[in-house]
Structure 1
Amino acid sequence: MEEELIELGSPTASKRVILLHGLTGTASVIRPVAEYLCKRLGEDYSFLLPTAPIIKVKQFSGEPAHAWFDVKSSDFRREADIDGIFESSDRIASLVRNEISQGVSPKDIYLGGFSQGGVIALTTALLEPFAVAGVFAFSSYLPLEDQLTSRMTDVSKDVPIFQAVSLKDEFISQEMSDKASAFLRNRGNPVLIQNYDMKHEIRNRELDDVIEWIKSLA
Protein backbone atom coordinates (compact mmCIF):
# COMPACT_ATOMS: atom_id res chain seq x y z
CA MET A 1 0.00 0.00 0.00
CA GLU A 2 1.27 3.45 -0.91
CA GLU A 3 2.26 5.47 2.12
CA GLU A 4 -0.14 8.24 3.07
CA LEU A 5 0.74 11.81 2.13
CA ILE A 6 -1.70 14.52 3.17
CA GLU A 7 -1.65 17.98 1.60
CA LEU A 8 -3.36 20.97 3.22
CA GLY A 9 -3.83 24.46 1.89
CA SER A 10 -3.54 25.80 -1.62
CA PRO A 11 -0.93 24.12 -3.87
CA THR A 12 -0.19 27.59 -5.23
CA ALA A 13 0.70 28.98 -1.78
CA SER A 14 4.08 30.68 -1.79
CA LYS A 15 5.37 28.95 1.35
CA ARG A 16 5.52 25.25 2.27
CA VAL A 17 5.66 23.50 5.62
CA ILE A 18 6.64 19.81 5.76
CA LEU A 19 5.41 18.44 9.09
CA LEU A 20 6.48 15.04 10.45
CA HIS A 21 4.66 12.92 13.04
CA GLY A 22 6.28 10.98 15.87
CA LEU A 23 6.88 7.28 16.52
CA THR A 24 3.78 5.10 15.83
CA GLY A 25 1.99 8.10 14.34
CA THR A 26 0.80 8.85 10.81
CA ALA A 27 0.02 11.90 8.73
CA SER A 28 -3.58 11.65 9.94
CA VAL A 29 -2.47 11.73 13.59
CA ILE A 30 -0.60 15.01 13.19
CA ARG A 31 -3.12 16.52 10.80
CA PRO A 32 -4.95 18.52 13.55
CA VAL A 33 -1.65 20.23 14.36
CA ALA A 34 -1.17 21.16 10.71
CA GLU A 35 -4.76 22.39 10.45
CA TYR A 36 -4.28 24.63 13.49
CA LEU A 37 -1.06 26.08 12.05
CA CYS A 38 -2.44 26.41 8.54
CA LYS A 39 -5.56 28.28 9.68
CA ARG A 40 -3.56 30.79 11.70
CA LEU A 41 -0.68 31.28 9.29
CA GLY A 42 -3.05 32.01 6.42
CA GLU A 43 -3.39 31.27 2.74
CA ASP A 44 0.27 31.94 1.95
CA TYR A 45 1.18 28.60 3.59
CA SER A 46 0.47 25.04 2.52
CA PHE A 47 1.39 21.83 4.35
CA LEU A 48 2.76 18.44 3.35
CA LEU A 49 2.32 15.60 5.86
CA PRO A 50 4.16 12.41 4.93
CA THR A 51 3.74 9.12 6.80
CA ALA A 52 6.71 7.08 8.01
CA PRO A 53 7.10 3.51 6.73
CA ILE A 54 6.15 0.51 8.83
CA ILE A 55 9.28 -1.14 10.21
CA LYS A 56 10.12 -3.58 12.98
CA VAL A 57 11.02 -1.59 16.10
CA LYS A 58 13.48 -3.26 18.44
CA GLN A 59 12.21 -1.34 21.48
CA PHE A 60 8.77 -2.84 20.78
CA SER A 61 10.20 -6.40 20.78
CA GLY A 62 10.38 -6.32 17.00
CA GLU A 63 6.72 -5.48 16.50
CA PRO A 64 6.03 -3.40 13.36
CA ALA A 65 5.08 0.25 13.70
CA HIS A 66 5.19 3.47 11.71
CA ALA A 67 8.66 4.83 12.48
CA TRP A 68 11.13 7.15 10.80
CA PHE A 69 13.93 4.98 12.22
CA ASP A 70 14.43 2.07 14.59
CA VAL A 71 14.56 2.56 18.35
CA LYS A 72 17.05 0.06 19.69
CA SER A 73 17.12 1.13 23.33
CA SER A 74 15.04 3.11 25.82
CA ASP A 75 18.09 5.37 26.03
CA PHE A 76 17.86 7.08 22.62
CA ARG A 77 21.49 8.10 22.82
CA ARG A 78 22.59 4.47 22.64
CA GLU A 79 22.71 2.51 19.40
CA ALA A 80 21.18 5.28 17.32
CA ASP A 81 19.83 3.96 14.02
CA ILE A 82 21.93 6.28 11.89
CA ASP A 83 21.21 4.37 8.67
CA GLY A 84 17.48 4.63 9.31
CA ILE A 85 17.80 8.34 10.08
CA PHE A 86 19.71 8.91 6.85
CA GLU A 87 17.12 6.94 4.86
CA SER A 88 14.19 8.96 6.18
CA SER A 89 16.15 12.19 5.86
CA ASP A 90 16.79 11.39 2.19
CA ARG A 91 13.08 10.79 1.68
CA ILE A 92 12.12 14.15 3.19
CA ALA A 93 14.92 15.84 1.25
CA SER A 94 13.33 14.50 -1.94
CA LEU A 95 10.06 16.23 -0.95
CA VAL A 96 11.97 19.46 -0.41
CA ARG A 97 13.72 19.16 -3.76
CA ASN A 98 10.44 18.41 -5.50
CA GLU A 99 9.01 21.66 -4.15
CA ILE A 100 12.11 23.52 -5.30
CA SER A 101 11.77 21.98 -8.77
CA GLN A 102 8.25 23.45 -8.90
CA GLY A 103 9.58 26.93 -8.25
CA VAL A 104 9.39 27.21 -4.46
CA SER A 105 12.48 28.85 -2.98
CA PRO A 106 14.31 26.95 -0.20
CA LYS A 107 13.86 30.16 1.83
CA ASP A 108 10.10 29.55 1.69
CA ILE A 109 10.23 25.96 2.97
CA TYR A 110 9.92 25.07 6.65
CA LEU A 111 10.48 21.68 8.22
CA GLY A 112 8.84 20.68 11.48
CA GLY A 113 8.29 17.57 13.53
CA PHE A 114 7.30 15.99 16.80
CA SER A 115 9.68 13.61 18.63
CA GLN A 116 11.13 11.27 15.96
CA GLY A 117 9.72 13.59 13.33
CA GLY A 118 11.70 16.43 14.87
CA VAL A 119 14.89 14.39 14.58
CA ILE A 120 14.29 13.90 10.86
CA ALA A 121 13.28 17.51 10.29
CA LEU A 122 16.47 18.74 11.95
CA THR A 123 18.70 16.19 10.24
CA THR A 124 17.28 16.90 6.80
CA ALA A 125 17.80 20.64 7.11
CA LEU A 126 21.33 20.29 8.49
CA LEU A 127 22.50 17.93 5.73
CA GLU A 128 21.20 19.87 2.72
CA PRO A 129 23.49 22.03 0.55
CA PHE A 130 21.03 24.92 0.79
CA ALA A 131 19.41 26.70 3.73
CA VAL A 132 15.67 26.24 4.26
CA ALA A 133 13.60 28.94 5.95
CA GLY A 134 13.62 27.26 9.35
CA VAL A 135 13.05 24.13 11.42
CA PHE A 136 10.81 23.64 14.44
CA ALA A 137 11.06 20.57 16.66
CA PHE A 138 8.63 19.58 19.43
CA SER A 139 9.78 17.30 22.27
CA SER A 140 12.71 16.14 20.19
CA TYR A 141 16.48 15.72 20.16
CA LEU A 142 19.42 15.42 17.77
CA PRO A 143 21.68 12.36 17.55
CA LEU A 144 25.24 13.64 17.73
CA GLU A 145 27.07 10.64 16.26
CA ASP A 146 30.07 11.48 14.08
CA GLN A 147 28.46 9.84 11.02
CA LEU A 148 25.76 12.49 11.15
CA THR A 149 27.56 15.59 12.37
CA SER A 150 30.43 15.13 9.90
CA ARG A 151 27.97 15.40 6.98
CA MET A 152 26.31 18.62 8.08
CA THR A 153 26.81 21.39 5.55
CA ASP A 154 28.27 24.81 6.27
CA VAL A 155 25.33 26.59 4.64
CA SER A 156 22.93 24.88 7.05
CA LYS A 157 24.47 26.93 9.87
CA ASP A 158 22.21 29.75 8.67
CA VAL A 159 19.00 27.78 9.30
CA PRO A 160 16.96 29.20 12.21
CA ILE A 161 15.70 26.60 14.67
CA PHE A 162 12.80 26.65 17.12
CA GLN A 163 13.22 24.07 19.87
CA ALA A 164 10.16 23.35 22.02
CA VAL A 165 11.24 21.57 25.20
CA SER A 166 8.73 19.74 27.40
CA LEU A 167 10.02 19.93 30.96
CA LYS A 168 8.02 16.88 32.11
CA ASP A 169 8.83 14.78 29.04
CA GLU A 170 8.74 11.07 29.86
CA PHE A 171 10.92 10.11 26.88
CA ILE A 172 13.26 12.97 25.92
CA SER A 173 15.42 13.98 28.86
CA GLN A 174 16.40 17.56 29.65
CA GLU A 175 20.01 16.51 29.12
CA MET A 176 19.26 15.37 25.56
CA SER A 177 17.48 18.64 24.80
CA ASP A 178 20.31 20.70 26.29
CA LYS A 179 22.97 18.83 24.32
CA ALA A 180 21.11 19.44 21.07
CA SER A 181 20.70 23.14 21.88
CA ALA A 182 24.35 23.56 22.79
CA PHE A 183 25.55 21.75 19.68
CA LEU A 184 23.37 23.80 17.35
CA ARG A 185 24.31 27.11 18.94
CA ASN A 186 28.00 26.25 18.93
CA ARG A 187 27.92 25.55 15.20
CA GLY A 188 26.26 28.92 14.64
CA ASN A 189 22.59 28.17 14.12
CA PRO A 190 20.15 30.82 15.42
CA VAL A 191 18.27 28.77 18.02
CA LEU A 192 15.18 29.85 19.94
CA ILE A 193 14.47 27.57 22.90
CA GLN A 194 11.07 27.63 24.56
CA ASN A 195 10.35 25.56 27.67
CA TYR A 196 6.88 24.22 28.49
CA ASP A 197 5.59 22.72 31.71
CA MET A 198 4.10 19.65 30.05
CA LYS A 199 4.73 16.05 29.02
CA HIS A 200 5.63 14.43 25.68
CA GLU A 201 2.85 16.12 23.75
CA ILE A 202 1.87 19.09 21.60
CA ARG A 203 -0.33 21.88 22.93
CA ASN A 204 -1.73 25.05 21.44
CA ARG A 205 0.48 27.39 23.41
CA GLU A 206 3.63 26.06 21.77
CA LEU A 207 1.94 26.12 18.36
CA ASP A 208 1.10 29.77 18.94
CA ASP A 209 4.77 30.41 19.74
CA VAL A 210 5.84 28.63 16.54
CA ILE A 211 3.40 30.74 14.53
CA GLU A 212 4.91 33.94 15.94
CA TRP A 213 8.41 32.61 15.24
CA ILE A 214 7.56 31.75 11.62
CA LYS A 215 5.99 35.17 11.11
CA SER A 216 9.13 36.79 12.49
CA LEU A 217 11.20 35.03 9.84
CA ALA A 218 8.92 35.71 6.89
Structure 2
Amino acid sequence: GDRYTGAIWLDTAEAFNQVLTGDHRIWLVTQEFWLFNSYDGYLQQQILEQMDKQWGEGGVWALSTRPGHWPLAREAEVMLNAEFDGGARLRGYTVNPSQPAPGGVMYLTLFWQGNLPFGAKVLVHLRDANNNTVAQADHFIYDNKVPSSRWGDLLKNDEVVRDGAALALPPDLQPGRYRLLVGFYHPETFARLGVIDDQSGESAVILGEWVVE
Protein backbone atom coordinates (compact mmCIF):
# COMPACT_ATOMS: atom_id res chain seq x y z
CA GLY A 1 0.00 0.00 0.00
CA ASP A 2 0.88 3.65 -0.06
CA ARG A 3 2.87 5.35 2.67
CA TYR A 4 2.30 8.99 3.56
CA THR A 5 5.24 10.89 5.02
CA GLY A 6 3.90 14.43 5.18
CA ALA A 7 5.17 14.87 8.75
CA ILE A 8 8.81 14.19 7.78
CA TRP A 9 11.00 17.13 6.80
CA LEU A 10 13.17 16.07 3.87
CA ASP A 11 15.85 18.67 3.26
CA THR A 12 18.67 16.50 1.91
CA ALA A 13 19.02 13.84 -0.76
CA GLU A 14 20.27 11.41 1.88
CA ALA A 15 17.11 11.86 3.97
CA PHE A 16 14.98 11.45 0.84
CA ASN A 17 16.78 8.23 -0.14
CA GLN A 18 16.35 6.86 3.37
CA VAL A 19 12.58 7.34 3.18
CA LEU A 20 12.53 5.56 -0.18
CA THR A 21 14.13 2.37 1.17
CA GLY A 22 11.79 -0.60 1.34
CA ASP A 23 8.89 -1.75 -0.80
CA HIS A 24 6.35 0.95 0.06
CA ARG A 25 5.19 3.32 -2.64
CA ILE A 26 6.02 6.87 -1.54
CA TRP A 27 4.16 9.95 -2.73
CA LEU A 28 5.50 13.49 -2.97
CA VAL A 29 3.33 16.55 -3.64
CA THR A 30 5.26 19.72 -4.38
CA GLN A 31 5.11 23.02 -6.21
CA GLU A 32 6.67 22.79 -9.67
CA PHE A 33 8.46 26.10 -9.07
CA TRP A 34 9.98 24.84 -5.82
CA LEU A 35 11.17 21.63 -7.44
CA PHE A 36 13.11 23.47 -10.12
CA ASN A 37 14.17 26.61 -8.26
CA SER A 38 14.32 25.97 -4.50
CA TYR A 39 15.54 22.41 -3.97
CA ASP A 40 19.20 21.46 -3.73
CA GLY A 41 20.30 20.16 -7.13
CA TYR A 42 21.20 16.68 -5.90
CA LEU A 43 17.86 16.31 -4.09
CA GLN A 44 15.97 17.60 -7.12
CA GLN A 45 17.70 15.07 -9.36
CA GLN A 46 16.98 12.16 -7.00
CA ILE A 47 13.29 13.08 -7.08
CA LEU A 48 13.19 13.35 -10.87
CA GLU A 49 15.12 10.09 -11.33
CA GLN A 50 13.38 7.90 -8.75
CA MET A 51 9.79 9.11 -9.06
CA ASP A 52 7.14 9.19 -11.78
CA LYS A 53 4.93 12.22 -12.29
CA GLN A 54 1.36 11.04 -11.76
CA TRP A 55 -0.45 14.36 -11.90
CA GLY A 56 0.26 18.00 -12.51
CA GLU A 57 -2.08 20.98 -12.56
CA GLY A 58 -1.98 24.58 -11.44
CA GLY A 59 1.75 24.45 -10.79
CA VAL A 60 1.47 21.47 -8.42
CA TRP A 61 3.02 18.06 -9.11
CA ALA A 62 2.16 14.72 -7.52
CA LEU A 63 4.86 12.08 -7.91
CA SER A 64 5.25 8.50 -6.69
CA THR A 65 8.20 6.13 -6.53
CA ARG A 66 8.85 4.20 -9.71
CA PRO A 67 9.35 0.42 -9.75
CA GLY A 68 12.98 -0.62 -9.34
CA HIS A 69 14.11 2.86 -8.32
CA TRP A 70 17.68 3.34 -7.12
CA PRO A 71 19.68 6.40 -5.93
CA LEU A 72 21.98 8.36 -8.18
CA ALA A 73 25.61 8.61 -7.10
CA ARG A 74 26.63 11.94 -5.57
CA GLU A 75 30.14 12.02 -7.05
CA ALA A 76 31.69 10.73 -10.26
CA GLU A 77 34.26 7.99 -9.72
CA VAL A 78 35.72 8.48 -13.20
CA MET A 79 36.20 12.01 -14.54
CA LEU A 80 35.78 12.84 -18.23
CA ASN A 81 35.82 15.96 -20.37
CA ALA A 82 33.84 14.87 -23.43
CA GLU A 83 31.96 17.53 -25.39
CA PHE A 84 29.11 17.18 -27.88
CA ASP A 85 28.09 19.50 -30.69
CA GLY A 86 25.90 22.22 -29.24
CA GLY A 87 27.69 22.41 -25.90
CA ALA A 88 26.61 19.35 -23.88
CA ARG A 89 29.49 17.96 -21.81
CA LEU A 90 29.92 14.57 -20.13
CA ARG A 91 32.02 15.25 -17.04
CA GLY A 92 32.19 11.75 -15.56
CA TYR A 93 30.39 8.64 -14.44
CA THR A 94 30.00 6.10 -11.65
CA VAL A 95 29.18 2.41 -12.17
CA ASN A 96 27.88 0.12 -9.44
CA PRO A 97 28.91 -2.64 -9.08
CA SER A 98 32.30 -1.93 -10.59
CA GLN A 99 32.63 -5.49 -11.89
CA PRO A 100 29.80 -6.65 -14.21
CA ALA A 101 28.54 -10.22 -13.94
CA PRO A 102 26.26 -12.32 -16.17
CA GLY A 103 22.62 -11.81 -15.21
CA GLY A 104 23.44 -8.78 -13.09
CA VAL A 105 22.63 -5.10 -13.46
CA MET A 106 25.08 -2.25 -14.06
CA TYR A 107 23.79 0.92 -12.37
CA LEU A 108 25.30 3.87 -14.21
CA THR A 109 25.18 7.50 -13.07
CA LEU A 110 26.21 9.97 -15.77
CA PHE A 111 27.31 13.49 -14.87
CA TRP A 112 26.28 16.03 -17.52
CA GLN A 113 26.89 19.74 -17.79
CA GLY A 114 26.26 22.48 -20.31
CA ASN A 115 23.61 22.80 -22.99
CA LEU A 116 21.90 19.41 -22.87
CA PRO A 117 19.65 18.89 -25.93
CA PHE A 118 15.97 18.95 -24.98
CA GLY A 119 14.01 15.97 -26.33
CA ALA A 120 17.10 13.96 -27.30
CA LYS A 121 17.52 10.38 -26.16
CA VAL A 122 20.61 9.15 -24.31
CA LEU A 123 22.28 6.14 -25.89
CA VAL A 124 23.87 3.63 -23.50
CA HIS A 125 25.32 0.51 -25.15
CA LEU A 126 27.55 -2.25 -23.79
CA ARG A 127 29.60 -3.70 -26.67
CA ASP A 128 31.63 -6.88 -26.91
CA ALA A 129 35.03 -7.25 -28.59
CA ASN A 130 33.29 -7.61 -31.98
CA ASN A 131 31.32 -4.39 -31.40
CA ASN A 132 28.04 -6.24 -30.92
CA THR A 133 25.59 -4.60 -28.51
CA VAL A 134 24.96 -7.08 -25.68
CA ALA A 135 22.99 -4.73 -23.39
CA GLN A 136 21.51 -1.27 -23.75
CA ALA A 137 19.59 1.26 -21.70
CA ASP A 138 18.59 4.06 -24.07
CA HIS A 139 16.41 6.62 -22.29
CA PHE A 140 15.28 10.21 -21.99
CA ILE A 141 16.80 12.20 -19.15
CA TYR A 142 14.30 11.87 -16.28
CA ASP A 143 11.93 10.03 -18.64
CA ASN A 144 11.10 13.30 -20.41
CA LYS A 145 9.08 14.50 -17.41
CA VAL A 146 10.84 17.89 -17.36
CA PRO A 147 8.80 20.27 -19.56
CA SER A 148 10.52 22.55 -22.05
CA SER A 149 9.54 25.53 -19.88
CA ARG A 150 11.66 24.11 -17.02
CA TRP A 151 14.60 22.74 -19.03
CA GLY A 152 16.53 25.98 -18.57
CA ASP A 153 15.94 25.84 -14.81
CA LEU A 154 17.44 22.35 -14.76
CA LEU A 155 20.62 23.61 -16.44
CA LYS A 156 20.95 27.00 -14.75
CA ASN A 157 24.28 28.11 -13.26
CA ASP A 158 25.99 25.33 -15.25
CA GLU A 159 24.54 22.82 -12.76
CA VAL A 160 25.86 19.25 -12.96
CA VAL A 161 22.93 17.05 -14.02
CA ARG A 162 23.04 13.46 -12.81
CA ASP A 163 21.28 10.94 -15.03
CA GLY A 164 20.77 7.25 -14.33
CA ALA A 165 20.73 4.15 -16.54
CA ALA A 166 20.36 0.52 -15.45
CA LEU A 167 21.79 -2.05 -17.86
CA ALA A 168 20.37 -5.53 -17.40
CA LEU A 169 23.10 -7.96 -18.43
CA PRO A 170 22.13 -11.21 -20.16
CA PRO A 171 22.57 -14.36 -18.04
CA ASP A 172 24.62 -15.92 -20.86
CA LEU A 173 27.07 -13.00 -21.09
CA GLN A 174 30.33 -14.53 -22.25
CA PRO A 175 33.75 -13.95 -20.66
CA GLY A 176 35.71 -11.24 -22.41
CA ARG A 177 36.28 -7.52 -22.75
CA TYR A 178 33.39 -5.07 -23.06
CA ARG A 179 33.14 -1.34 -23.75
CA LEU A 180 30.43 1.07 -22.64
CA LEU A 181 29.37 3.75 -25.12
CA VAL A 182 27.23 6.82 -24.40
CA GLY A 183 25.79 9.43 -26.73
CA PHE A 184 22.72 11.39 -27.80
CA TYR A 185 20.34 10.81 -30.69
CA HIS A 186 17.11 12.29 -31.97
CA PRO A 187 14.32 9.71 -31.48
CA GLU A 188 12.46 10.69 -34.66
CA THR A 189 15.41 10.38 -37.05
CA PHE A 190 17.91 8.35 -34.96
CA ALA A 191 20.55 10.89 -36.05
CA ARG A 192 23.26 11.14 -33.42
CA LEU A 193 24.63 14.29 -31.91
CA GLY A 194 28.24 14.74 -32.93
CA VAL A 195 31.11 14.36 -30.47
CA ILE A 196 34.09 16.70 -30.60
CA ASP A 197 37.31 14.68 -31.06
CA ASP A 198 35.24 11.51 -31.48
CA GLN A 199 37.28 8.37 -30.67
CA SER A 200 34.46 5.89 -31.24
CA GLY A 201 33.88 6.46 -34.94
CA GLU A 202 30.11 6.58 -34.37
CA SER A 203 29.39 9.84 -32.50
CA ALA A 204 29.59 8.38 -29.02
CA VAL A 205 31.83 8.57 -25.96
CA ILE A 206 33.67 5.43 -24.86
CA LEU A 207 33.43 5.37 -21.07
CA GLY A 208 35.85 2.54 -20.50
CA GLU A 209 36.49 -1.17 -20.71
CA TRP A 210 35.32 -3.95 -18.39
CA VAL A 211 36.42 -7.57 -18.22
CA VAL A 212 33.93 -10.35 -17.52
CA GLU A 213 35.68 -13.42 -16.15
The TM-score, its normalising length taken from structure 2, stands at 0.31
Greater RCO (CA < 8 Å, at least 6 residues apart): 2
Higher share of residues assigned strand: 2
Larger radius of gyration: 2
The TM-score, its normalising length taken from structure 1, stands at 0.30
